[in-house]
Structure 1
């Protein structure tokens, strides 16, 4: 029942997507080519107001719109997805940002930040899941808004690896280490996510000129049961969850050098 409940929650969240972009994301580069100095000020709230929807790439492997940028103190990752399965993958397993400052496509020992880390995502739906499962028609907007809010509230942890000053693997979004994250849902049904990580955790200063390699990974849903995918959604078309995709991590690599003011 727990596994079915989780898949129901993911299916509900996926159903909220209404793709209303003002531009065609497929016209963007698949991997960001330029360095971007972040706008000022940046507020990490998942609302993306200061970014003006000015995404620098649409990665086709992960179906993510994204911007990687920096200022003199922090590196920022901003992502958005209106794709059904991609939103579910983010909620189920989070987004990894891994940075190899030697410019090598290697994750070993590289600083890594993952957000969101949601404990017991199968509990997000609660009685909402039961009400959803009893419906034969479309999804109720009020139910979706409730589920969005529960998801935002549940996204309270960040996984941190290979950042020496931080000894805990899991830290709160309210940490005192300077790592800031936020998840939200915008008016077109897109899931939006922001990360801000101090440059010092990558052993970088504002004057650094070396090219680094970054790895963005969607971990997806890792079920506890054996065998193939099952549960709601299936692989029936563009408006349903692709279960095989949901359970398979997706990723891409890029190169980045710090932008100068």
Structure 2
């Protein structure tokens, strides 16, 4: 009896493992005939959305012969604030491994202090959404292209847009040309990661040199530790605009003192035949 029970338990575990693996694999459907990266997502109606409960997002990953597409939606206000301030990083590894081989971040943070995004009312939320039209995309791992480019107009045809719907849903759309993935095999399963970056405050750089990761000043002794609100310490002040923008270009998006937590998840992409 014990042997039978053990075998039954092992079978159930195997079934659960298979189901869990299958749940992580997204069947990449062919994109609509006409896709416009404008944040409206009207052309995606009828497409099944995958759900990640941890990050409170619904999403679609699709492709055609030219592009890989991401459509991401959330009604969670805290996640919306994270997205508008620190951006969404979409990473892909064509070899199917958990590596951020190619990644884009939109909107790319352009300030060192993102605390103003932490408690946005409806009016300011809508204003921030409208301002994403002028935001940048950060692209990492793609050979021969600039790391920072305009989201609405650039020579690489990597485009992204965000809109806010009447029922309070934030929608992000993005397109990345498949040719930029270094002639990777689109017939195999790719790994992907979607990360909603947390808000942060970067520490002020020291002066007398070029701004960069090694130029970040440490808080003064007795200043209350690492938390933005902790121990009586004050919020780190940022440097003048020139040094500030230099740091924003050279540090990772989660550099500095965290204000809110990031959230991310991995999965696999199984491509449809074109």
TM-score (norm 2): 0.65
Report the CA distance between 1:99 and its aligned residue.
0.6
Equivalent of 1:73 in 36, 54, 66: 66
Alpha-carbon RMSD: 3.0
Distance 1:52 1:72 in 2: 20
Q: Contact 1:124–1:147 (CA<8 Å) still a contact in 2?
A: no
1:17-96 equivalences in 2 (<5 Å)? 31=24, 33-52=26-45, 54-96=47-89
3-state SS of the aligned residue for 1:117? coil
| Unpaired stretches in structure 1, ≥5 consecutive residues | 1-28, 133-138, 232-244
Q: Contact 2:75–2:168 (CA<8 Å) still a contact in 1?
A: yes
Larger-gyration structure (1/2): 2
Task: Indicate whether 1:250 and 2:243 are aligned.
Answer: no
Equivalent of 1:209 in 177, 180, 187: 187
Task: Indicate whether 1:223 and 2:201 are aligned.
Answer: yes
Distance 1:258 1:92 in 2: 32
CA deviation string 1:75-124 (max 9, x = no partner): 000000001111111112111111101001122xx111111114239799
Distance 2:76 2:266 in 1: 20
Report the CA distance between 1:33 and its aligned residue.
3.1
Distance 1:221 1:212 in 2: 29
3-state SS of the aligned residue for 2:200? coil
Task: Indicate whether 1:183 and 2:162 are aligned.
Answer: yes
Report the CA distance between 1:146 and its aligned residue.
6.3
Task: Indicate whether 1:114 and 2:93 are aligned.
Answer: no
Q: Contact 1:124–1:151 (CA<8 Å) still a contact in 2?
A: no
- Between stretches 174-183 and 216-225, larger displacement belongs to 216-225
| Unpaired stretches in structure 2, ≥5 consecutive residues | 1-21, 204-224, 231-257
TM-score (norm 1): 0.68
3-state SS of the aligned residue for 1:163? coil
* Bigger relative contact order (CA 8 A; separation at least 6): 1
